[in-house]
Structure 1
Amino acid sequence: MIKGAYDGITVLDFTQGVAGPHATMLLALHGADVIKIEPPEGDWGRALGEIKGDHCAHSVAFNRGKRSIALDLKSADGKAVVNKVMAKANVVIESFRPGVISRLGFGYEDAKKVNPKVVYCSVSGFGQTGPYSKRPTVDGLIQAFSGMMVMNRLPDGTPWRQGMIAVDVTTGLYTFQALAPALMRQLRFGEGSYIDSSLMKAAAAYQGAKLMEWVFSNGTPPPLYMPAGSYKTANGYIMVSAMRPHHFKALFELIGRNDIANDPELQGHEARIRNAPRIIKALQETMPSKTTEEWIALLQPKEVFCERVNNYTDYLDHPHVKESGAIDWIEQDGFGRMPVANIPGLPPASQHEAQQHAPHTGENGADILKELGYSANEIDAIFARGGVQAPTILAKAAD
């Protein structure tokens, strides 16, 4: 087994939901020991959508490779356990509302006292400062706040929310990339640091080019090029993209619309954008005359960019997806056999199935306590007092 880049790194993970857990999962999949601190009832991210046992698809997708201990952060035992982990952690990451973690006694200043070199990261909706810093929010609200819904508007102008938690997932990626150089500074120079990561900033970074376009177009950004869009065919939809002049001409010649291909008013980039309604109308009139597969067979050999609009079943069953190893199927106990998207830069999930396991609430509590130096009798007493929750399996066995 190839060593992970973060083998030997300990992460104290207070995060819940998707954004923070996504970042810490990436650390775990690269080898870090991520100790997930959950409340006794579990991370609220375990209840996003359909639930099976104590997991949903999102909690499995963004918590693989971690270890979980469930505890009450206000209890004496819970505080003692967290302080022991904090003292040795390379990274501490939290996603409470700004100010909450400090009131609990585990903020950045608290961490620095016992661990001066710690990399400390806070993930929030609007960031740690500013008039909206303590404002509650979720992914969809940040899509609205950041302009993303306007960028993604329907043809009639209605702002539209993306159908997945795009900002949360993106925030996880940006947070992971912020942690990577911070860890490098820690390991090379012995420096600690503080990272303020937020959904609001991540949404802006993701849309950086669109923000620029909006300003220099006075709020009316044009299409990048024309045509580019999906069109109904006889049996589904096809996406076509014809940015370059020869692609544009070839597309409309091949579909039998020489009137568009040879129109003198459509022979330049700006002219095509200016006359977009005519181009779109021609495609809407013509594409339903053949199936998606017939159009692809006609267009792709001439290097006209086009692709079938798939659903997720189409994608998972596609021979290219299978042969390229984009997806592995992993069994998650209590949840079933699920597809795992292999992450660029990491070995396939099938090569390290144990690392793909998403822990149940508090599943690793006994092991974590033992590693922190607690004896078997002390662990039994801690579980009995209830500040730290016994793993469900142990609780059932005790019954």
Structure 2
Amino acid sequence: MVKGAFDGVTVLDFTQGVAGPHASMLLALHGADVIKIEPPEGDWGRALGELKGDHCAHSIAFNRGKRSIALDLKSPDGIAVVKKLAAKADVVMESFRPGVIGRLGFGYEDLKKINPKVVYCSISGFGQTGPYSKRPTVDGLIQAFSGMMVMNKMPDGTPWRQGMIAVDVTTGLYTFQALAPAIMRQFRFGEGCYIDSSLMRAAAAYQGAKLMEWVFSKGNPPVLYMPAGSYKTANGYIMLSAMRPHHFRLLFELIGREDIANDPDLQSHDNRIRNAAKIIKALNETMPQKTTEEWIEILQPKDVFCERVNNYTDYLQHPHVKATGAVDWIEQDGMGALPVANIPGLPRASEHPPQQYAPHIGENGPEILRELSYSAADIDAMLSRGGVRAPAPAVKAAD
């Protein structure tokens, strides 16, 4: 197995949901020992969708490669365990509402007193400061707040939320991107730091070009080019993209619409956008006359950009996906075989299956306590007092 970039790095991970767990999972897949601190009832992200035992698809997708210990952070035992873990952690991550972690005694100012080189990252909806800092939020609300829903509007102008947790996942990527150089600075210069990551700022960074475009277009950004969109065929949908003039002409010649190819009102980029309704009408009239596959056989050999609109089954079964190793399948107990999209820059999931395993609630608690030099008697006493939740077969996903 190839050495991970973060082998030897210990991460104390208080985060729940998707954004923080996504970032810490990326650290884990790159070799870090990520110790997931969960409340006794488990990370609330375990219930994002259909639940099997104590897992759902999201909790598996974003918690692979970690170890879990379930603690009551208000109990003496829970506090003692966290202090021991924090003293040796290279990275601490949390996603409580701003101010909560400080009241628990594990904020950045508290922990840097016992661990001056710690890289500490807080992930929240609106950030740690400002009038909205304590405002509760979720992915869809940030899509609304950030303007994303307006940019994703329906043809009738209705703002529309993306069906995926796009902001959470993007926040995880930006947070990982912030943590990686912070860990490098820690390694090279012995410096710790504090990172304030938020869904609000990640959503804006993701839409950075659109923010600029909105300003210089005075709130009326044009479409990038025309045609670009999905159109109904005889058996499904096809996505068409014809940005360059020769692509536009070739597309309409190949589908038998020379009237559009030669239309004097459609011979420039600006005119095609201005007269988009004429182009869309022609495509809606013509594309249903053949199947998606028939159109692709006509268009792709001539380098006209087009693609079948797939669902996830289509993608997973596609010969190109299989040939390139873009997806592997892993076994998660109680869930059966699940697809894992292999992440660019990381080994394939099939090359290290144990690293793809997502822990159950508190599954690794006893081993983590042993590593902290607690005796067997101490561990039994802690489990009996309830400050540390014992792993129990009852919480494991059923077959």
Q: Structure 2-normalised TM-score?
A: 0.98
Matched residues, number: 396
Match of 2:222 in 1: 222
Supply the AA of the counterpart residue of 2:302.
K
Task: Give the SS at the match of 2:300.
Answer: helix
Supply the AA of the counterpart residue of 1:101.
I
> Would you say 1:305 and 2:305 are equivalent positions?
yes
> Contact between 1:227 and 1:280, CA under 8 Å: does it hold in 2?
yes
- 1:152-167 correspondence to structure 2 within 5 Å: 152-167=152-167
Match of 2:391 in 1: 391
Match of 1:362 in 2: 362
Unaligned 5+ runs, structure 2: none
**Distance across 2 between alignment mates of 1:39 and 1:89:** 19
1:139-174 deviation digits (Å, cap 9, x = unpaired): 000000001000000000000000010000000000
1:210-236 deviation digits (Å, cap 9, x = unpaired): 111111111111110111000000000
Task: Give the SS at the match of 1:159.
Answer: coil
Match of 1:56 in 2: 56
**Distance across 1 between alignment mates of 2:173 and 2:377:** 41
> Contact between 1:53 and 1:335, CA under 8 Å: does it hold in 2?
no
Match of 1:262 in 2: 262
**Distance across 2 between alignment mates of 1:365 and 1:196:** 29
**Distance across 2 between alignment mates of 1:175 and 1:286:** 46
Task: Give the SS at the match of 1:238.
Answer: strand
**Distance across 2 between alignment mates of 1:260 and 1:338:** 47
> Contact between 2:13 and 2:35, CA under 8 Å: does it hold in 1?
yes
- 1:143-158 correspondence to structure 2 within 5 Å: 143-158=143-158
**Distance across 2 between alignment mates of 1:47 and 1:265:** 54
Match of 2:348 in 1: 348
Task: Give the SS at the match of 2:215.
Answer: helix
Task: Give the SS at the match of 1:51.
Answer: coil
> Would you say 1:296 and 2:277 are equivalent positions?
no
> Would you say 1:13 and 2:9 are equivalent positions?
no
CA-CA distance at 1:241 after TM superposition: 0.3
CA-CA distance at 1:191 after TM superposition: 0.5
CA-CA distance at 1:369 after TM superposition: 0.1
1:19-61 deviation digits (Å, cap 9, x = unpaired): 0000000000000000000000000000001000100000000
Supply the AA of the counterpart residue of 1:57.
A
Match of 1:98 in 2: 98
CA-CA distance at 1:394 after TM superposition: 9.8
> Contact between 1:241 and 1:305, CA under 8 Å: does it hold in 2?
yes
After TM superposition, the structure 1 stretch with the greater mean CA deviation from structure 2, 288-297 or 265-274, is 265-274
> Contact between 2:360 and 2:395, CA under 8 Å: does it hold in 1?
no
**Distance across 2 between alignment mates of 1:359 and 1:395:** 11
**Distance across 2 between alignment mates of 1:114 and 1:337:** 43
**Distance across 1 between alignment mates of 2:267 and 2:194:** 53
1:183-219 deviation digits (Å, cap 9, x = unpaired): 0100000000000000000000000011111111111
Supply the AA of the counterpart residue of 1:167.
V
Match of 1:37 in 2: 37
Q: Structure 1-normalised TM-score?
A: 0.98
**Distance across 2 between alignment mates of 1:53 and 1:322:** 30
Match of 2:138 in 1: 138
After TM superposition, the structure 1 stretch with the greater mean CA deviation from structure 2, 309-318 or 266-275, is 266-275
Supply the AA of the counterpart residue of 2:146.
S
Supply the AA of the counterpart residue of 1:291.
T
**Distance across 2 between alignment mates of 1:213 and 1:29:** 36
1:247-273 deviation digits (Å, cap 9, x = unpaired): 001000000011111112211111111
CA-CA distance at 1:395 after TM superposition: 9.8
> Contact between 2:37 and 2:68, CA under 8 Å: does it hold in 1?
yes
**Distance across 1 between alignment mates of 2:387 and 2:368:** 15
**Distance across 2 between alignment mates of 1:371 and 1:151:** 50
Going from structure 1 to structure 2, the CA distance change for 1:208 and 1:246 (only over 3 Å counts) comes to same
Match of 2:187 in 1: 187
1:75-116 deviation digits (Å, cap 9, x = unpaired): 000000000010010100000000000000000001100000
> Contact between 2:361 and 2:395, CA under 8 Å: does it hold in 1?
no
Supply the AA of the counterpart residue of 1:285.
E
> Contact between 1:40 and 1:389, CA under 8 Å: does it hold in 2?
yes
**Distance across 2 between alignment mates of 1:38 and 1:383:** 15
Match of 2:129 in 1: 129
Match of 2:69 in 1: 69
After TM superposition, the structure 1 stretch with the greater mean CA deviation from structure 2, 258-267 or 32-41, is 258-267
Supply the AA of the counterpart residue of 2:227.
P
> Contact between 1:66 and 1:358, CA under 8 Å: does it hold in 2?
yes
After TM superposition, the structure 1 stretch with the greater mean CA deviation from structure 2, 268-277 or 183-192, is 268-277
1:288-325 deviation digits (Å, cap 9, x = unpaired): 00000000000000000000000000000101001110
Task: Give the SS at the match of 2:82.
Answer: helix
- 1:109-120 correspondence to structure 2 within 5 Å: 109-120=109-120
Supply the AA of the counterpart residue of 2:256.
G
Give me the identity figure in percent.
Answer: 83
Match of 2:329 in 1: 329
**Distance across 2 between alignment mates of 1:323 and 1:387:** 49
Moved over 6 A (4+): none
After TM superposition, the structure 1 stretch with the greater mean CA deviation from structure 2, 210-219 or 56-65, is 210-219
Supply the AA of the counterpart residue of 1:371.
E
Task: Give the SS at the match of 2:373.
Answer: coil
Match of 2:246 in 1: 246
**Distance across 2 between alignment mates of 1:282 and 1:385:** 72
Match of 2:317 in 1: 317
CA-CA distance at 1:386 after TM superposition: 0.8
**Distance across 2 between alignment mates of 1:394 and 1:65:** 22
Task: Give the SS at the match of 2:238.
Answer: strand
CA-CA distance at 1:179 after TM superposition: 0.1
